[in-house]
Structure 1
Amino acid sequence: MSNQEDKKPIAQGRASIARAHYQTVATSGNHAIVADEPADLGGTDTGMTPFGLLLSSLGTCTAITLRMYIDRKMWIVDEINIDLEIFAVPDGHCIEIAISFKGDLTAEQTERLLDIADKCPVHKLLAGNVKMESRLA
């Protein structure tokens, strides 16, 4: 893979699971959330599934990116909603993203925001070339 000097840290996280099926505590910085599987898959349904967390990460990054742009442009937008769904398709997976705004936007502004949405860092990471390295700690 890449040289250690070439790596620039962006974020750190940890996932810890004990004996509860399949309740996992995910932490990053000073924050924690619970992930799990639904009861019909043997979990305790106490948190989002891993795929739900992935979609939430993409959705929140998209919303934050759009809010930053909207605020910089001083456009009047009271609310941004991002609805996401992941599908299994023959050649992998497909994520559908539906974006809606509550505010005073022209059609041109809305089209620009759709372009901006695809520029969120998590979107670019998921759509790009991602390498993963698993090792024993």
Structure 2
Amino acid sequence: MGIERRVVGELSAKISRVKYQTIITAGKHSIIADEPLADGGDDTGMSPYNLLLASLASCTVITLRMYIDRKMWVVDEIKIDLELVRNDHGVIIENKLEFKGDITQEQKKRLVVIANGCPIHKILTGEILINTSL
């Protein structure tokens, strides 16, 4: 009996001769990735680092919204600010959450636990295997 395989994301990316500008397509959606001017790109889209952070940020706030809605808590807005920092020991993602609404400090502490349980967070903090082929 094999391990169950379930595709949860799928996309393609193309780059032509426009220096570093990459068109990323998933289904009927497309975005542009690029490098900043300081790194030789034209800054026509988010950098790959920021796209990684965007994935974590969107997954986190969606997970929090789902939980808050199930609990019927009054939260009008969830904001997340992320910063990716490289140092001699590796990479650290600093994650700051803010909530606008009528919630207690205890509820906010619970939401931090829920945020750390979003699927993208689990992927980034777990073991990742990347198979590259032709």
- 1:68-101, Cα deviation, whole Å (9 max, x unpaired): 0000000000000010000112221010100000
**Among candidates 110, 113, 120, match of residue 112 of structure 1:** 110
Q: Which residue of 2 aligns with 1:63?
A: 61
d(CA) in 2 for partners of 1:108, 1:37: 41
- 1:23-70, Cα deviation, whole Å (9 max, x unpaired): 001111211100001112111110000000000100000000000000
Count of paired positions: 134
Partner secondary structure for residue 133 of structure 2: coil
TM-score computed with the length of structure 1 as normaliser: 0.94
Q: Give unpaired runs (5+ residues) of structure 2.
A: none
**Among candidates 108, 112, 120, match of residue 122 of structure 1:** 120
Pairwise CA distance, 1:7: 2.5
- Off by >4 Å, runs of 4+ in structure 1: none
Change (3 A) 1:34 1:73: same
Pairwise CA distance, 1:5: 5.8
Describe how 1:33-72 pairs up with structure 2 within 5 A.
33-72=31-70
Q: Give unpaired runs (5+ residues) of structure 1.
A: none
Partner secondary structure for residue 108 of structure 1: helix
Q: Which residue of 2 aligns with 1:83?
A: 81
Q: Which residue of 2 aligns with 1:94?
A: 92
